[in-house]
Amino acid sequence: MFRMINIKKSLKSIYNEYLRYNCFFGSAFMFFDKMTGHYIEKKRFFKNRGYKLDLKNPVSFSEKVVWKKLYDRNPLLTLTADKYSVRSYVKRVLGENEGNKILIPLLFVSENPENIPFDKLPAKYIIKTNHSSGWNIVVNGTGTHPKEIIKICKKWLKQCYGLNKNEWAYKNIKRKLLIEELLLDENGDIPKDYKFFVFHGVCTKIMVFSNRYSTQGKSVVTYDCNWNKLQASASHHHIHDIEKPKTLKKMINVAEKLGKDFDFVRVDLYTVKERVFFGELTHYPMSGNNLPATQEKDIDSGKYWNLERNNFWR
C-alpha cells in the first residue's frame, strides 16, 4: 500500500514537471518539425486530410491554414488570439461605444485562480483562459465545486497551448484567467455560435453551431451570406435548418470589419434578443486538419484566400 502511494506521488510529480516544462517541449517540437522540413506536420495532415500537404504551392483551404501557422508572423495574430487583449482590438476597430456593446461583460481577470471571488460572482458565468481554445468551464448555479475549478484552472495556466500543432500565435501570450457573464438565449440555453469565414475583409460563408453544450449532441450547419444552406455536418446528430437570424446583416458587417486586417480569420459571434455579441477571432480553424469534408470542397474554399497578399510572410 505504501509503495502504491509512492508510485502515485512519483507519477504526479512527473506530470507536474511536464506541465512546468511543456512550453519548452512545445518550442522544441516546433524547432524539430522545422528542421525536418515539417515532417510531422505533413504526416499529420496526410493522416487527417487524405492527401499530401503542399507548402510550396498551397491551394486548398486546409493547406493555407497550415501555411499560415508556419509562415505568417503578423503580430496582430498574437494580439487577437489572446482572448483578453482582443477586447481592446475590437474597441479600436469598431469604436469604443460599438465595441463595448458587443463585448461580453467581463466579470474577473487574474493570473492566479486562488483570487477568484466566488462569493461575489453571479449564479451563472463562464470561466476560460486567454491563451487557449476550448478550455472553458460553464457554471450555471450547480455542479463544479470552487476547489475543483481552481485545480483545473491552475493546470490550464501552467500549460502552453498549440505549440505541438505549430500554432505560433499562442506562443507569446501572457496567460490569464477570464470570467465572463454567461450568455443565454430566450429559452435559457447557450446561444447558437455563428462562425464567419472572412477572407481579405469579405465574408464567404457562415458555420452555425447549435446545442454546443447539450448532452444530445451538437449540430453544425453551413450557410452562404444569403442564408442558402451549403452543408450539414454528418458527423453530428440532430441536424436541422437554422432560421435566418434577424441580426445577420449586422453580424456580417461586424465580422468583415474585424477581419479586414487579415488575409483570413474566422470571426465567432453570438446573437441574443437581436443583440450581437463577440466571441473570438480564430486564425487556425481545426489547425488545418479537419475541414472541409472533401479535397474538392477544400480546394474550392481555398480559392478566396490569396496568400500573395500576405505582408507578413516569414
Q: What mean pLDDT is predicted for residues 47-61? A: 94
Residue 15 has pLDDT above 50, yes or no: no
pLDDT of amino acid 213: 62
Look up residue 274 and give its three cell numbers: 437581436
Give the chain's radius of gyration (CA, Å): 20
- ∠ CA(22), CA(212), CA(201), 5° rounding? 80
pLDDT score, position 268: 98
| Grid cell 455563428 in the structure block, residue | 194
pLDDT digits (tens, 9 = 90+) for 148-203: 999 999 999 999 999 999 999 999 999 999 999 999 998 889 999 999 999 999 99
Q: Name the band, by pLDDT with cuts 50, 70 and 90, for residue 233.
A: low
Provide the pLDDT for residue 146.
93
DSSP-derived 3-state class of residue 56? coil
What is the structure's pLDDT at 3?
Answer: 52
Q: Give the sign of the dihedral formed by CA 26, CA 27, CA 32, CA 37.
A: positive
- Tell me, what's the pLDDT at 313? 62
pLDDT, average across residues 2-23: 52
Q: Which cell goes with 138?
A: 460553464
pLDDT of residue 290: 73
Q: Which residue has the cell 436541422?
A: 240
Quickly count: other Cβ atoms within 10 Å of residue 86's Cβ: 19
Please, which residues bridge with residue 129 across strands? 177
CB-based contact 306:62 (threshold 8 Å): no
Long-range CB contact pairs, 203-211, < 8 A, 24+? 203/252, 203/255, 203/256, 203/259, 204/301, 204/304, 205/230, 205/301, 208/242, 210/242, 211/238
How much of the chain, in percent, has pLDDT values that exceed 90? Answer: 73
> Per residue in 243-268, pLDDT tens?
999 999 999 999 999 999 999 999 99
Q: Does 234 have pLDDT greater than 60?
A: no
pLDDT at 282: 97
Average pLDDT of the segment spanning 82-91: 98
**Residue 258 corresponds to which cell in the numbers above?**
474585424
Query: Residue 240 burial by CB count (10 A; 0-12/13-18/19+): exposed, middle or buried?
Result: exposed
Which of the four pLDDT bands, split at 50, 70 and 90, describes residue 27? confident
Q: What is the mean pLDDT of residues 234-241?
A: 57
Cα 297 to chain centroid distance, Å, stands at 22
Model confidence band, residue 230 (pLDDT cutoffs 50, 70, 90): confident
Weakest mean pLDDT among 31-40, 164-173, 304-313? 304-313
The pLDDT tens digits of the residues spanning 265-297 come to 999 999 999 999 999 999 999 999 876 668 888
Q: Rounded to 10 degrees, what is the CA torsion of 117, 121, 127, 131?
A: -60
Residue, of 22 and 70, whose pLDDT is higher: 70
User: DSSP readout, 162-223?
Assistant: SGGGT-GGGTTPPP-EEEEE----TTSSPPPEEEEEEETTEEEEEEEEESTT-TT--EEEEE
